[in-house]
Chains A and B, each alone.
Chain A
Amino acid sequence: MENLNSELKKLIVTELHLDGTDPSGISDSAPLFGDGLGLDSLDALQLAVAIEDRFGVRINDESEGKKAFASVATLAAFIETRRPADKA
């Protein structure tokens, strides 16, 4: 799970163009939206697309996304429970 957390942090920084943000400085439990990393709804769409491309896991709607995107840790747990075997 730790490797997935690290991978997700790098993905967030790269896909959302968070120039100057060190992925290792993102806390596993810090909120991604609002306070914390300060992402917005447009970032959520971009991140959802990137996650589907990388892990084969689809975030179906905003309701599902709000739970998955609560933090890096919740996102990693969400992906782990849903990703196809060939993308493990």
Chain B
Amino acid sequence: MKYAAQIDSLLPHRPPFRFVDELVEVSGERGEFCLCLAADDPRLLEGAMSPVLLVEALAQSAAAYQHSRITGESHRGLLASIDSARFFGAARGGERVQLLIRRDRSYGAFVRFSGTATQGPRPLAEAEFTVCYLSDTAVTDA
């Protein structure tokens, strides 16, 4: 419950469209999050989640990471581009997916992230993507 409240404070997304359940650790330019899939999760198709949705999970993880470092009342990030993505396998019901993101570069309002989704030692997906942050955002190095 405490993890849901924590993520609720970092993301505007709500189930079933929220693909991040827990903030594990944020340190420097890296963030670790997880997605916990129940066996009967309604987002599963034939027991598995499309790997493409893991890119959304990584993007939401990046948003949660960035918002954990932002001060100020008004901030809004929009996924501007997916620069590359590779898929290795699907996440299945009952699994805990580890979402690792890294803030790579920023330029003006745009921030480039890279991320990997894994289930234990099994790689599921990796992607590089860019988020655009709208105005009225003050970013601090927390």
Report which A residues bind B (CB closer than 8 A): 41-42, 44-46, 48-49, 52, 59, 61-62, 65
Interface membership of B112, Cβ < 8 A: yes
Q: How far is the CB of B135 from chain A (nearest CB, A)?
A: 13
**Residue in A45, A59, A61 whose CB lies within 8 Å of B112:** A45
Is B110 part of the binding interface, using a Cβ–Cβ cutoff of 8 Å?
A: yes
**Which of A42, A48, A59, A65 makes the CB contact (< 8 A) with B81?**
A42
Helix, strand, loop or mixed for chain A's interface? helix
Query: Chain B binding site: helix, strand, loop or mixed by DSSP?
Result: strand
- Chain B residues with Cβ under 8 A from A59's Cβ? 107
Looking at B81, B104, B108, which has the most chain A CB atoms within 10 Å of its CB?
B108
Not counting A45-B107, A45-B108, a sample of 12 additional A-B residue pairs whose C-beta atoms are within 8 angstroms of each other reads: A41-B108, A42-B80, A42-B81, A42-B132, A44-B107, A45-B106, A45-B110, A45-B130, A48-B105, A48-B107, A62-B107, A65-B108
Complex interface residues of chain B between 18 and 34 (CB less than 8 A to chain A): none
Sample 28 A-B pairs with CB under 8 A, ordered by A number.
A41-B107, A41-B109, A42-B80, A42-B81, A42-B110, A42-B130, A42-B132, A44-B107, A44-B108, A44-B110, A45-B106, A45-B107, A45-B108, A45-B110, A45-B112, A45-B130, A46-B83, A48-B105, A48-B107, A49-B104, A49-B105, A49-B112, A59-B107, A61-B107, A62-B107, A62-B108, A65-B107, A65-B108
A63 to B61, CA, bound (A): 28
Q: Could you say which residues of chain A place their CB within 8 Å of the CB of B110?
A: 41-42, 44-45
